[in-house]
Amino acid sequence: MLFDTVCIAGVGLIGGSFGLALRERRLARRVIGLTRREETARAAQQVGAVDFATTNPVEAARGADLILLAPPVGQITPLCEHLAPIVSAGAIVTDAGSTKAGIVRDCGAVFGANAMFVGGHPMAGSERTGVENAHGNLFEKAVWILTPTADTPETAVNRMVELIEALGAVPLLLDAALHDSLLAVTSHLPHVTAAALVHLFMAAQNQTEFAQHLIATGWRDSTRVAGGSPEMWRDICLANAPAIAHNVEDMIAQLEEFRDMLRDTDGERLYRWFDEARAVRTKHGYFPRS
Amino acid sequence: MLFDTVCIAGVGLIGGSFGLALRERRLARRVIGLTRREETARAAQQVGAVDFATTNPVEAARGADLILLAPPVGQITPLCEHLAPIVSAGAIVTDAGSTKAGIVRDCGAVFGANAMFVGGHPMAGSERTGVENAHGNLFEKAVWILTPTADTPETAVNRMVELIEALGAVPLLLDAALHDSLLAVTSHLPHVTAAALVHLFMAAQNQTEFAQHLIATGWRDSTRVAGGSPEMWRDICLANAPAIAHNVEDMIAQLEEFRDMLRDTDGERLYRWFDEARAVRTKHGYFPRS
């Protein structure tokens, strides 16, 4: 057992899977869920993600030696402020937010020297949200980023690394700002372009009923992430606005470059542009779709 | 049997799957492959996509009552010109190109009143190219577009519709220009944005070795099609340049609109934008990824 009592604040897909993994692997004596709604508390207990769930923060967080904050990104800092007076001295508090710089700055300041805050981001998930889709092996082989600062006690980082490895995930220590700028490239911008592609499709649909019959596998893959939660993506965009805006500009520049190649009927340059992308794409991750 | 002798010019994934489907369903007495390379001719015979394959156009096309042109898009019109003197009077010639207006105009003119050209586009495929990945059920439930003009004999269209249905596919008659403008939205632009996303990732990779560790499922899906053949995508872009350029402009406009929402920290508008995309995306095709 790595922890005695773990509190999971926000028991959705990530929080629920974390609870299931802790319990299946016997990494904590007791797992307590903190939810906003009674209904979620009941569901969390039913699927076995927690030993006990409640909507009462005092009941949930008091005495915990590890607290995972896994609500939607926009609620992590308010939740921190809410829990700060309750959290035991020496407890480790971590989060599962998809953006890090703002959260690390704000939550670090909230806890000060009382609890030990370590920013985190398990790179796992699915569009199937909610505790009912949680499963205990969600984090297996997933990269789990930690973003400690110069003020983060080493002992908190070490215990988090130990926990992440015990969950079968791969810990990666990263500067919070670097995390945010890279995630803008590998996750946030692809969501924006997916939603933009769907908006262009909507415009075509408004012009002709045939549009929907011409949807191909490529479109489905390219736009799949646009099916995600609009609340989550609004919050991520607001939390990481500067890095995302920067990437949107870079994307526009890429598209303008492409438009120039088209205008110049520059087959050689078009070939090279597609070929460079193909070479890098086929190196990274599964391809073709399995 | 719907046809006596079918000639498939270009026996790759599409041509090979067409041959396999014809033979498995006994829709033609004889299927002959025409390939550029001896090696492909042998492979086509080996996988059973054709009864016989050759690199000799006269041997392949003479006497055929149906010819499918399935080489890369850029080679369809040159192939038409090459085959025109060989093709039997009254034969139906169709193609499998991903762009239609230019091909229909040029190939229609090449054959004149001799053979009957019907532009076609089976909406099936995969990044696994080549005859070795062909399978006889590739077209099952796929939309197979036909783009007849006012000059196309009705009998040719009717026989093509009959064949498409016999292959288990769904025929859809469409104006060639409308096909091209819709495909720019549902297929060509998503390829361009996928390649552009990979180029942004390459720039991030040049800055830090960590970029590759932050690749998530969303990025893999959004960029999957960038793994496709650069030759094919160069040719498609050149063949459908005006419609694609138009869509690139629309995409840039969407991204500028998004950038403004970010700049204004307009959470309500961001939510609506993502929510509209989510509603439409979840209506069309599988979601989440199966």
Taking only the tens place, the pLDDT of each residue in B60-72 is 999 999 999 999 9
Subunit contact A275:B251, Cβ cutoff 8 A: no
- From chain A, the residues in CB contact with B179 under 8 A are 214
For chain B, the C-alpha Rg in angstroms (whole number) is 21
pLDDT at B113 over 90: no
Q: Residue B102 and residue B99: Cα distance in Å, rounded? A: 7
Whether the upstream peptide bond of residue A288 has omega within 30° of 0, thus cis, is: yes
SS3 assignment, position A282 = helix
Q: How does the average pLDDT of chain B come out, rounded?
A: 94
Band (B128; pLDDT cuts 50, 70, 90): confident
Sign of CA dihedral B27, B32, B36, B40: positive
| Nearest C-alpha in A relative to B272 | A230
Helix (H) or strand (E) holding A143: strand A143-146
Band (B163; pLDDT cuts 50, 70, 90): very high
What phi, psi does A52 have (nearest 5°)? -160, 140
What is the model's pLDDT at position B261?
97
- From chain B, the residues in CB contact with A200 under 8 A are 185, 189, 247, 250-251, 254
Residue ranges, CATH 1.10.3660.10, chain A: 178-283
Give bridge partners of residue A92 from the DSSP assignment. A66, A116
**For chains A and B, what is the number of CB pairs under 8 angstroms?**
314
- Nearest chain B CA: its distance from A183 CA (Å): 7
Query: What average pLDDT does range B241-262 have in this prediction?
Result: 98
Neighbours of B249 (CB within 10 A): 13
Q: Which of A182, A231, A285 sits opposite B220 (nearest CB)?
A: A285
Contacts of B242 (CB under 8 A, 6+ apart): none
Q: Residue B196 and residue B233: Cα distance in Å, rounded? A: 13
What is the model's pLDDT at position A217?
83
pTM for this one? Answer: 0.90
Query: What average pLDDT does range B177-193 have in this prediction?
Result: 97
What is the model's pLDDT at position B288?
41
Band (B289; pLDDT cuts 50, 70, 90): very low
What is the model's pLDDT at position B287?
43
Q: Residue A194 and residue A42: Cα distance in Å, rounded? A: 35
| Nearest C-alpha in B relative to A124 | B216
- Nearest chain A CA: its distance from B66 CA (Å): 25
What is the model's pLDDT at position A286?
55
Superfamily of domain B3-174: NAD(P)-binding Rossmann-like Domain (3.40.50.720)
What is the model's pLDDT at position B286?
55
- From chain B, the residues in CB contact with A205 under 8 A are 280
Q: Residue A74 and residue A54: Cα distance in Å, rounded? A: 21
Query: What average pLDDT does range B164-178 have in this prediction?
Result: 97
Return the residue matching tokens 């800092």: A77
Band (B226; pLDDT cuts 50, 70, 90): very high
Band (B127; pLDDT cuts 50, 70, 90): low
Return the residue matching tokens 């070490």: A158
Helix (H) or strand (E) holding A53: strand A52-54
Nearest to B120 by CA among B48, B18, B214: B18
What is the model's pLDDT at position B290?
34
Cβ atoms of B19 and B78 within 8 Å: the answer is no
Q: How does the average pLDDT of chain A come out, rounded?
A: 94
What ipTM was predicted for this assembly? Answer: 0.91
- From chain A, the residues in CB contact with B226 under 8 A are 274, 277-278, 281
- From chain A, the residues in CB contact with B202 under 8 A are 276-277, 280
Percentage of residues in chain B having pLDDT higher than 70 = 97
The single-letter DSSP state of residue A10 is S
Alpha helices in chain A (DSSP H): 13-24, 38-46, 57-61, 76-83, 101-111, 154-166, 176-183, 189-207, 217-223, 230-239, 241-263, 267-283
- From chain B, the residues in CB contact with A141 under 8 A are none
| Nearest C-alpha in B relative to A221 | B221
Superfamily of domain B178-283: 6-phosphogluconate dehydrogenase C-terminal like domain (1.10.3660.10)
Residue ranges, CATH 3.40.50.720, chain A: 3-174
Subunit contact B210:A267, Cβ cutoff 8 A: no
- In chain A, which stretches have pLDDT less than 50? 287-290
